[in-house]
């Protein structure tokens, strides 16, 4: 059963969070518009698509991405205000344990954690598809891939010289297959190849096809044919942020497939997958730290608490970025890189919490 103090703190927690979220997102939109307005005008993007396809989903994505940081700053802000107004002193002298004071904070953090978790895994990936499709149509530079090479399941090596989204056509497509004894069994080369969107069907032109099957190998050279491959053009020509638009099952399938190909993008995809869970749980850690830092009245006022909070946020973001780079470039497992900042800051939160009790 929630007491008056519980409802009071939870109300302050949630109202401060959503107020700060609104202010930060409003400023983000202003800066984003100033950067992209000329592109929107030159590409004749409709106002309805700018608002509903782009900026509504922009708010969902970036608001959720930085929600843990906004939670931290919100907790520091309203808790420091309560401390300055001597609202916390009666609670400390009531004889109740500090954990009782912390309970409404954790309830508020749980509400926001569940909301962020649902957004990360179910809502934001779908909304990002719309946002990224808008960027691709009205803002992004032409996607170009050169000298692509990957090994697909079944000892299949695929290579092409170049591809652009403007042409939507692959040049110099080459496919080679080997058996388990590393002996060639199939060779295919086409001057151009065009993928039918949403399918594995392709239209190839000026192609050579050689089958090494013993005892009668055969060589075919024709002008054009329709065929199917195990891959699609979208799969081979992807932007690095494509994982943002994938649901959990889609992302796990992409990771497994890219692992078989030996893709260098696997660590980035794994980081995206694990961050969707680690970021929401950071709400608990940062809430405890925020309460511990700001629950005492300080001589410098609220500004001192906010400065301390911003310093901690900077260190947290820096540690996440540093470990992300280590995962991509050094080979540190993604799950370790993503959860280490939470583990370290959980220890720091416990130390600060014990200090605040004294």
Q: What is the DSSP string of 217-269?
A: -EEEEEEEEEEE-S--HHHHS--GGGGGG--HHHHHHHHHHHHHHT-TTHHHH
Whole-number average pLDDT of the chain: 85
The pLDDT value recorded for residue 17 is 95
Q: How far apart are CA 146 and CA 175, in angstroms?
A: 16
The pLDDT value recorded for residue 12 is 93
Spatial CA neighbour of 1 closest among 95, 107, 97, 79: 107
The pLDDT value recorded for residue 18 is 95
Q: Give the best-scoring range by mean pLDDT among 14-28, 137-151, 165-179, 277-291.
A: 14-28
By the 10 Å C-beta count (0-12 exposed, 13-18 middle, 19+ buried), 26 is classed as exposed
Query: 227 — phi, psi (to 5°)?
Result: -150, 180
SS3 36: helix
Could you identify the residue written with the tokens 């399938």?
Answer: 253
Average of pLDDT values for 67-92?
Answer: 82
For residue 297, give both structure tokens.
Answer: 């009245």
At 277-297, the pLDDT tens digits run 888 998 999 898 888 888 776
At 27, the pLDDT band (50, 70, 90 cuts) reads very high
Say whether pLDDT at 193 is over 80. yes
Q: Give the best-scoring range by mean pLDDT among 121-130, 212-221, 313-322.
A: 121-130
Domain map of the chain by residue range? 4-139+265-357, 144-238
The pLDDT value recorded for residue 310 is 74
At 354, the pLDDT band (50, 70, 90 cuts) reads confident
Average of pLDDT values for 142-153?
Answer: 81
Say whether pLDDT at 214 is over 70. no
Average of pLDDT values for 86-91?
Answer: 72
The pLDDT value recorded for residue 14 is 94
pTM of this prediction exceeds 0.85 = no
């Amino acid at each position: 059963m929630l007491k008056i103090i519980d409802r009071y703190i939870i109300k302050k927690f949630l109202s401060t969070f959503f107020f700060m979220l609104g202010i930060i997102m409003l400023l983000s939109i202003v800066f984003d518009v100033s950067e992209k307005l000329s592109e929107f005008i030159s590409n004749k993007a409709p106002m309805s698509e700018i608002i509903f396809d782009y900026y509504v989903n922009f708010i969902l994505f970036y608001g959720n991405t930085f929600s843990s940081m906004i939670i931290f700053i919100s907790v520091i802000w309203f808790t420091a205000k309560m401390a300055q107004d001597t609202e916390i002193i009666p609670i400390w002298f009531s004889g109740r344990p500090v954990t009782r004071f912390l309970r409404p904070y954790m309830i508020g953090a749980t509400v926001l954690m569940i909301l962020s978790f649902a957004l990360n895994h179910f809502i934001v990936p779908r909304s990002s598809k719309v946002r990224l499709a808008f960027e691709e149509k009205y803002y992004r530079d032409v996607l170009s891939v050169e000298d692509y090479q990957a090994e697909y399941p079944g000892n299949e090596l695929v290579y092409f010289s170049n591809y652009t989204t403007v042409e939507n056509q692959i040049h110099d497509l080459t496919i080679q297959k080997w058996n388990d004894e590393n002996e060639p069994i199939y060779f295919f080369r086409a001057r151009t190849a065009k993928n039918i969107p949403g399918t594995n069907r392709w239209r190839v032109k000026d192609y050579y096809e050689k089958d090494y099957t013993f005892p009668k190998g055969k060589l075919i050279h024709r002008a054009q044919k329709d065929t199917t491959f195990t891959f699609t053009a979208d799969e081979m020509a992807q932007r690095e942020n494509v994982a943002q638009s994938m649901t959990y099952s889609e992302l796990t399938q992409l990771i497994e497939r890219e692992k078989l190909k030996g893709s260098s993008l696997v660590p980035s995809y794994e980081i995206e997958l694990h961050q969707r869970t680690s970021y929401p749980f950071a709400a608990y850690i940062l809430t405890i730290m925020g309460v511990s830092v700001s629950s005492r009245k300080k001589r410098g006022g609220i500004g001192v608490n906010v400065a301390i909070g911003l310093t901690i946020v900077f260190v947290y973001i820096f540690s996440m970025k540093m470990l992300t780079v280590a995962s991509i470039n050094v080979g540190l497992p993604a799950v370790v890189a993503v959860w280490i900042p939470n583990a370290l800051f959980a220890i720091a939160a416990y130390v600060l919490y014990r200090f605040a009790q004294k």
